[in-house]
Amino acid sequence: MEDETPTLPPVSSKLSDDQIQVMNLSLVVAVVLLVTKVIAAAITGSSAIYSDAAESVTHVLAVAFAAWALRLAHKPSDETHHFGHDKVAFLSSGFEGAMISAAALLILYETSRQLLVGTAITSLGIGMVLTGAAAAVNLVLGTALLRVGKKRHSAVLRANGEHVLADVWTSGGVLAALALIYFTGWRWWDPIFAVLAAGKLLWTGWRLMRESMGGLMDEADVKVEKDLRETLETECASRGLTYHNLRHRHSGRTHWIEFHLVFPDDSGLLDAHEIATELEGRVASLIGQDVRVISHLEPRSAEDREEQWELR
């Protein structure tokens, strides 16, 4: 009879080459684009371009923090961190969100100041070329960060990708403002689009901080829980078992799952262990790589005598 026991998905603590490369590229690009946008803001005097440059300042800080967090997240468990270090990924995404929000507030302040004192906008063509080039580079980079982040289940890379794409939106708003000023001559398009860019950044920053808090507080993914329950119910029913006390959480890189399996009282320990191992494999294959599944075996006669601390 052919063995139908599923192969457990690979568990890798190694920081892959594509993760290192895309994060290093993100840091280099962030510095280069910051210099480019500062030059464009100095040349044009545009508050919209200034807002784009201000966002890039916070982006450089966030990327530097993310690069450190990415390496720490892949550090294996040790005597003082038994579950590894990958929760730093949520701290990193929260920091990215806070930096984006800080940039938005800085943009609003600068725009308000320029509305009061006024400013002249010059060299629109150069400003549009530099801003457009920055937007194009960020679009390619942000897409690559999200792709690698999803492939490697990295909250750090996904948050960094969201930040880069938020920068694209800001640059797009700047281009629209400069184009309208060029064709209409009405300079108030500049602060209007700066405020719109700040609003978009505030929304992105809040969403990243909210997701970070959910991860740090072990908030369960509703879709994952639904899939886990459907799999457990199907697998247990086919074996004449039941389950309870399902818990799961994502720690930034690793998905942790645990549940209790209830066996008939006359089940042998060896047979029960083999069945539990097979069922753990089914559950693990549902999630993918970087997953830990722990099951607790108990007899049916003891099913109702659980310790209070195990209940939820």
286: DSSP letter: H
> What is the residue-wise DSSP string for 174-221?
HHHHHHHHHHH--TTHHHHHHHHHHHHHHHHHHHHHHHHHHHHTTPPP
- Whether residue 100 contacts residue 204, with contact meaning beta carbons closer than 8 Å, is answered with yes
* pLDDT averages per 10-residue partition of the chain, 312 residues: 44 65 87 85 75 77 86 85 86 85 82 70 72 86 88 80 81 80 79 82 88 88 93 95 92 88 94 95 87 92 66 54
SS3 275: helix
CA–CA gap between residue 25 and residue 3 (Å, rounded):
45
pLDDT at res. 92: 84
pLDDT at res. 9: 46
Instruction: State the burial class of residue 304 (Cβ atoms within 10 Å of its Cβ: 0-12, 13-18, 19+).
Output: exposed
pLDDT at res. 277: 95
CA–CA gap between residue 262 and residue 244 (Å, rounded):
8
pLDDT at res. 260: 94
- Whether residue 263 contacts residue 299, with contact meaning beta carbons closer than 8 Å, is answered with yes
CA–CA gap between residue 274 and residue 258 (Å, rounded):
17
Domains in the chain, start-ordered, CATH in brackets? 17-216 (1.20.1510.10), 222-310 (3.30.70.1350)
